[in-house]
Amino acid sequence: MVRPASYSWILVVFLFSCDQWLLPPDPASDPTAVFDTLWEDVNHRYSFFTHKDIDWKQVRADYRPRVNDQMGQLELYDLLAEMLFELRDGHVNLSTGFNRSRNWDWYRDFPVNYDENLIEQEYLGGDYWISGPLQHQVVDEVLYVNYRSFGQRISEANLQVVVERAKRSRGVIIDVRNNGGGNLSNAELLASAFAAEEIEYAKQRIKSGPGPDEFGPWEPMTIRPWEEGTYTGRVIVLTNRRSYSATTFFAQMMKALPNVSLVGDQTGGGGGTPVFGELPNGWTYRFSATQTIDPDERQLEDGVVPDLRLDLNPAAVGRGEDNLIETAIFLLRR
């Protein structure tokens, strides 16, 4: 009785002590280790080094000497945020308890081309329909639909209302200006309501190894017609530089449809799906880990170019008009 029990306790102690040997401890949480963890993960998994001609090793050479283990949390955050800014990517963030780094250069230096008050006063009016996140109104026999965030879920019932109203109109305007993105499934559902047949709108590939050009195969991205019924009449999508991420994908989906035109400014981009990570000091981050190209092999990261480039005209705004909406109405009624 005694012998096997004694052996078992020795075995238990031995095996628990093996844990440390078999499963090495977590990386240290000092500033140098945090810097190295972040730099290395970005180095292995970020997807646009070659496309953006970024020398990430040079970035390390520039920033690593500025790290020391005596620096405070705020100093370290500033340094890491500055380093991540070099990626020129709106899908890159460093999140801490006190701040979140970001790069919003994809829209900051470009015209806004959107006036929400003007749209509410002159186009939506006081009696517009609200179908989930879709706000819509018939303007001059054209259905105007405003969708402010793909993060807000569209239900099938919401979409059914829009499709039915579209069928009674002379065309549809979908306004996704200032829509910063959200869930791609909402973009796919909305686009599917305007597709007459299955169509490939882009190709996507994902990082498959640590090298800057190690990717899996290009995989087609397609839109299928919505099973509940589609509207295949003419559609115009309004975009601006603040149309980002899932909204860029939506713009590309719609652009690939033969009955759809894009009017406005090119979208802000955001063609890389972000992957998440965490640092040993508790901070989290994300960055792009995929690439998406349109049928002409243009990266969606650079934005989707409209069929008709148009800025909001201050003189038109002064007259109480959104000249992008007015142009869309004119084109649809023509």
Determine, following the binding rule CB under 8 A, whether residue 97 of this chain makes contact with other proteins. Answer: no
Q: Which two tokens stand for residue 282?
A: 């508790």
Interacting positions 6-25 with other proteins (CB under 8 A):
7-8, 11-12, 15-16, 18-19, 22-23, 25
**Beta pairing partners, 137:** 144
Q: Which of 274, 300, 302, 303 binds other proteins (CB under 8 A)?
A: 274
Binding to other proteins by CB under 8 A, coded x per residue (else -) over 41-80, reads x---x-----------------------------------
Nearer to other proteins, 25 or 65 (CB): 25
Q: Which two tokens stand for residue 54?
A: 């970024």
We find the least distance from the C-beta atom of residue 327 to other proteins, in angstroms, to be: 36
**Beta pairing partners, 230:** none
For residue 215, the tally of other CB atoms under 10 A from its CB is 17
Q: Rounded to whole angstroms, how far apart are CA atoms 101 and 174?
A: 31
Interacting positions 155-214 with other proteins (CB under 8 A):
206-210, 214
Binding to other proteins by CB under 8 A, coded x per residue (else -) over 218-257, reads -xx-------------------------------------
For residue 85, the tally of other CB atoms under 10 A from its CB is 15
Q: Rounded to whole angstroms, how far apart are CA atoms 240 and 232?
A: 24
We find the least distance from the C-beta atom of residue 218 to other proteins, in angstroms, to be: 9
We find the least distance from the C-beta atom of residue 97 to other proteins, in angstroms, to be: 11
* Distance, C-alpha 67 to centroid of its chain: 31
We find the least distance from the C-beta atom of residue 87 to other proteins, in angstroms, to be: 16
Binding to other proteins by CB under 8 A, coded x per residue (else -) over 291-330, reads ----------------------------------------
Nearer to other proteins, 22 or 315 (CB): 22
Fill in the amino acid letter for 192: S
| Count of residues near other proteins by CB under 8 A | 42
Element (H, E) at 141: none
Nearer to other proteins, 125 or 210 (CB): 210
Q: Which two tokens stand for residue 133?
A: 């996140």
Q: Which among 56-64, 228-236, 267-275, 319-327 is the span making contact with other proteins, rule CB under 8 A?
A: 267-275
We find the least distance from the C-beta atom of residue 317 to other proteins, in angstroms, to be: 36
Q: Rounded to whole angstroms, how far apart are CA atoms 178 and 180?
A: 6
Element (H, E) at 55: none
For residue 21, the tally of other CB atoms under 10 A from its CB is 7
Residue-wise over 104-123: b if at least 16 C-beta within 10 A, else e? eebbeebeebbbeebbeebb
Q: Which two tokens stand for residue 31?
A: 């500033």
DSSP class of residue 121 equals: I
| Interface contacts to other proteins, rule CB under 8 A | 1, 4-5, 7-8, 11-12, 15-16, 18-19, 22-23, 25-27, 37, 41, 45, 206-210, 214, 216-217, 219-220, 273-278, 280-282, 284, 286, 289-290
